[in-house]
Structure 1
Amino acid sequence: MYDFDMVVIGSGPSGRRAAVQFAKLGKSVLVVEKGRRVGGVSVHTGTIPSKTLRETVLNLSGWRERGFYGRSYRVKQDIGATDLIARLQKTLDHEVEVLEHQFSRNMVKTASGEGRFLGPNKIEINAGGGETRVVSAAHILIACGTRPFRPDYVPFDGRSVFDSDEIIDLPKLPRSLAVIGAGVIGVEYATIFSALDVAVTLIEPRPTFLDFIDKELIEEFMHELRDRNVAVRLGSAVNSIERSESGSIVTKLSDGRNVTTEMLLFAAGRVGATDRLNLEAAGIAVDHRGRIAVDPVTLQTSVPHIYAAGDVIGFPSLASTSMEQGRVAACHALGMEPMAPPEFFPYGIYSVPEISTAGLTEEEVRTRGIPYEVGVARFRETSRGHIMGLNSGMMKMIFSTKTRRLLGVHILGEGATELIHIGQAVLNLKGTIDYFIQNTFNYPTLAEAYKIAGLDAWNRMSR
């Protein structure tokens, strides 16, 4: 009756996971990708490139060794844009190769071109040059992702004024950089360039940033930024962005201050890449940001056989959660009732230093009126921290004094995005402070911080 059991629009984290899951259950799948190669935004302009850029910067700059050898220490003295792009290209080629092999061995078919709806079950694929193809499917997954928000007042040119997709192709390293938007993307790039000793100014119109992170961690993070001479302008909206006669970018703020830099990155939000999908033909509406509303459990849109997953549905917009959303949508389409997801998932912010968190913040615990105690460990207190030359980094754990259960784990510092999974496991298994008191951790490791923070809280709790 249909050409395929499922057509997936987009090959990012949610699209690839859905396609492979559907194929493993014996069904025919077609993945439509408008880019030149599979992988979506995650592989080509988002998650993988930014994290590769971060790792390259930390390696070439000698950032991790500066605790021993001083702030002037560098592995490579003259780091240029070509040094960053060389490693990036190798990584992207490998990611694409792995994904193409995964599709091939699971017999997932791919089509290069831009997909648009002709009806609830029909997709037209425009491959360019006037070449089009129409396919039908019993189920359709919209996994087209997002693109950067580009307001008219920002003079984007791809040379000195960039959005967050363009910044990975910058022609040269700037001496100074303004970053507008202190969300996850803006903070990551601001700190990555700061690690290269670029003079960075981070601009955010709201008086606070990263509000979903525990405030104590943000205070510690702010201290580190100021120590590195990162200028943070909070509570100041941007009135205009102009180019001076000398070629500098002048950002005029509402508080009367001007920020003059060699380059500018605008990273204030993203919008769903849905405007060219012709969703009206399928009977699906989007919000003002181009996002699609779905059932939070089944990932179904308002049209039951059409699903959406990944960044295009909004929160939490993480590659990790997007993968699981794609798998859940594929299973539900085949009549398999999805299991309830775990209560807690980890956030990872790949700034310098890393931030990772799972569970409730101290502010949320207070709002809920839960009696609690806090334990804190500094990475410099661990032997591994001394070996690595860490002068900063912390772990904060929150426990209920009534049930002794772990309520939240918040980590700032080297390896935070890896360390968080121990806390995440204990949270979802409803573990208590006793696990951290009684458990033995490898020595010397940064994971010892769990024991230190657990004992710190235990010593404060009445027994």
Structure 2
Amino acid sequence: MNGYDYDLFVIGGGSGGVRAGRLAGAMGKKVGLAEEYRMGGTCVIRGCVPKKLYVYASQFSEHFEDSAGFGWSLGAARFDWQKLVAAKNREIARLEGLYRKGLESNAVEVFASRAELVDAHTIELKADGRRVTAEQILIATGGRPNRQESLPGHELCISSNEAFDLEQLPESIVIAGGGYIAVEFANIFHGLGVKTTLVYRGREILSRFDHDLRQLLQETMVAKGINIILGAVFDRVEKRAAGGLRVSLSNGEVLDVDQAMLALGRVPNTAGLGLERAGVATDKAGAVVVDDYMRTSVPHIWAVGDVTNRVQLTPVAIHEAMCVLETAFKNNPTRPDHELIATAVFSQPEIGTVGISEEEAARTCADVEVYRALFRPMKNTLSGRNEKMLMKLVVDANSRKVLGVHIMGQDAGEMAQLLGISLKAGATKDDFDRTMAVHPTAAEELVTMYTPSYRIIDGKRID
């Protein structure tokens, strides 16, 4: 180990850090890992996992309604918030145990402590002041919610961190933001019976997604009863004498609610890590600057995941961690592949997407074909639900390559995962056309849209 205590020391016990530590330990490296809170990071403890569990919980209200059309008669439904929170906590504890077991079974030394860099090879464990050295260091401290500290009354608002563990379910909530976190929580709270308002400064929610997806989801959410206020932001949050909060908006509206939530993105968790003492460069947002191989400005210090503020997705952090090990320990320089990342928004209905939007294709391709199907899925016929499903293919007319696939509807995220393989393999529209449909499924629309809905030539739409 060239005189160092560890071959690799990982700061952060989230998905990326744990994967790097576990696999490095399996390679026979001496590995240390420090985590100041709980093992599993944002995804397991206060992100993807509890969010998806709460999405499932919030969907049952509609499932109960839909069942009547299929001949079911149900009694009065009752929801117990505390029971959901307790069940969630048990599942997270189970997953945290698995993460810890994976590390320990590969001889990784785990420290329940905040860790800070003293210099380029030395880490101080704040729990007891102990200092250790490492030949290679990985920064995997993730991100944290943007608390918008310039907002008067921001301390009265919750973030996604606190939303999972409220003492009681509020009767009303207003959420600031229009990204996937804000949209998902708006649907969760609404599905659980909370009067929900979403406030977003833009003209449409989910600004980075394909326009058709944004527009249709927004219309569907409004039709469900979610109040969406656009072109406005929180100006001030105050306590009400009668209880609850008063939220004043930039457009002059005033909302009296039980809870206010800030879902305004996430920022890199780098404050106080001692990066400057080690010579690790950060950008204006505080993100660790890395090269194509996840190496920082210090050659033996690496960073992966949300702390780099590039692609804030758990599978990306895991993939980057594996690439770091290939580069650092196997003499196999490996770049993470950030192209064509499939993603999902667990709204209701959910969104699944991979590749570029119609708008981006129109800017980059001379001739674009757009195949679009908007239909009422079979499940909604007997239930009487009027929600529509959207399937959309964006195709380069010259190469016939499928550039993007965008879906809104049940199981859209599951479809996006499989479609990600097709697009990564370079599938063309002709490949889709040659694929036999599975009937009856909603997904069969993806391989039965033979004629373009319209084309975009040199930026101009032609119907």
Q: Is TM > 0.5 for Structure 1 vs Structure 2?
A: yes
Letter in 2 for 1:361: S
SS of alignment partner, residue 344 of structure 2 = strand
Aligned to 1:144: 141
Aligned to 1:267: 263
Report the Cα distance in structure 2 between the residues aligned to 1:415 and 1:106, rounded to whole angstroms: 36
C-alpha spacing 1:354/1:76, structure 2 compared with 1 (3 Å): farther
Aligned to 1:98: 98
Deviations 1:328-364 (A, max 9, x none): 1222112221156263111221222211211110000
Report the Cα distance in structure 2 between the residues aligned to 1:164 and 1:416, rounded to whole angstroms: 23
**Deviation (angstroms), 1:221:** 0.4
Q: Percent identity?
A: 30
C-alpha spacing 1:75/1:176, structure 2 compared with 1 (3 Å): farther
Letter in 2 for 1:46: G
Residue 228, structure 1, aligned to residue 224, structure 2: yes
Report the Cα distance in structure 2 between the residues aligned to 1:94 and 1:455, rounded to whole angstroms: 47
**Deviation (angstroms), 1:459:** 11
Report the Cα distance in structure 2 between the residues aligned to 1:7 and 1:387, rounded to whole angstroms: 57
Report the Cα distance in structure 2 between the residues aligned to 1:146 and 1:315, rounded to whole angstroms: 11
Aligned to 1:38: 39
Residue 166, structure 1, aligned to residue 171, structure 2: no
Report the Cα distance in structure 2 between the residues aligned to 1:76 and 1:110, rounded to whole angstroms: 49
CA contact (8 A) 2:205 2:218 kept: no
Report the Cα distance in structure 1 between the residues aligned to 2:381 and 2:25, rounded to whole angstroms: 49
**Deviation (angstroms), 1:22:** 1.8
Q: Superposed, which structure 2 residues align to 1:309-458 within 5 Å? A: 309-334=304-329, 335-338=331-334, 341=337, 343-378=339-374, 380-381=376-377, 391-452=387-448, 454-457=449-452
CA contact (8 A) 2:152 2:235 kept: no
CA contact (8 A) 2:343 2:417 kept: no
CA contact (8 A) 2:370 2:454 kept: no
Report the Cα distance in structure 2 between the residues aligned to 1:126 and 1:435, rounded to whole angstroms: 57
2:250 to 233, 254, 265: 254
Letter in 2 for 1:346: A
Deviations 1:213-259 (A, max 9, x none): 00011110011011012111111122211122211311111111112
1:2 to 1, 4, 24: 4
Report the Cα distance in structure 2 between the residues aligned to 1:41 and 1:326, rounded to whole angstroms: 16
C-alpha spacing 1:116/1:226, structure 2 compared with 1 (3 Å): same
C-alpha spacing 1:184/1:143, structure 2 compared with 1 (3 Å): same
Aligned to 2:56: 55
CA contact (8 A) 1:179 1:203 kept: yes
Report the Cα distance in structure 1 between the residues aligned to 2:123 and 2:75, rounded to whole angstroms: 51
1:305 to 283, 297, 300: 300
**Deviation (angstroms), 1:305:** 0.6
Residue 13, structure 1, aligned to residue 15, structure 2: yes
Unmatched segments (≥5 aa) in structure 2: 457-463
Report the Cα distance in structure 1 between the residues aligned to 2:388 and 2:453, rounded to whole angstroms: 23
CA contact (8 A) 2:204 2:214 kept: no
CA contact (8 A) 1:142 1:309 kept: yes
Q: Superposed, which structure 2 residues align to 1:69-218 within 5 Å? A: 69=68, 77-127=77-127, 131-152=128-149, 153=151, 155=153, 161-218=157-214
C-alpha spacing 1:211/1:459, structure 2 compared with 1 (3 Å): closer
**Deviation (angstroms), 1:369:** 3.3
CA contact (8 A) 1:31 1:111 kept: yes
Structure 1 residue runs of 4+, over 4 Å off?
Answer: 73-76, 383-390, 458-461
State the number of aligned residues. 449
SS of alignment partner, residue 177 of structure 1 = strand
SS of alignment partner, residue 359 of structure 2 = helix
Report the Cα distance in structure 2 between the residues aligned to 1:64 and 1:169, rounded to whole angstroms: 25
More displaced stretch, 187-196 vs 334-343: 334-343
SS of alignment partner, residue 290 of structure 1 = coil
Report the Cα distance in structure 2 between the residues aligned to 1:75 and 1:440, rounded to whole angstroms: 43
Report the Cα distance in structure 1 between the residues aligned to 2:78 and 2:162, rounded to whole angstroms: 23
Letter in 1 for 2:306: D
Report the Cα distance in structure 1 between the residues aligned to 2:103 and 2:177, rounded to whole angstroms: 36
SS of alignment partner, residue 66 of structure 1 = helix
SS of alignment partner, residue 169 of structure 1 = coil
Letter in 1 for 2:16: S
Report the Cα distance in structure 1 between the residues aligned to 2:370 and 2:350, rounded to whole angstroms: 21
C-alpha spacing 1:340/1:278, structure 2 compared with 1 (3 Å): closer
Q: CA RMSD in A?
A: 2.5
Unmatched segments (≥5 aa) in structure 1: none
Report the Cα distance in structure 2 between the residues aligned to 1:377 and 1:75, rounded to whole angstroms: 37
C-alpha spacing 1:79/1:123, structure 2 compared with 1 (3 Å): same
C-alpha spacing 1:261/1:360, structure 2 compared with 1 (3 Å): same
Letter in 2 for 1:41: T
CA contact (8 A) 2:246 2:256 kept: yes
CA contact (8 A) 1:397 1:406 kept: yes
CA contact (8 A) 1:384 1:445 kept: no
TM-score (norm 1): 0.90
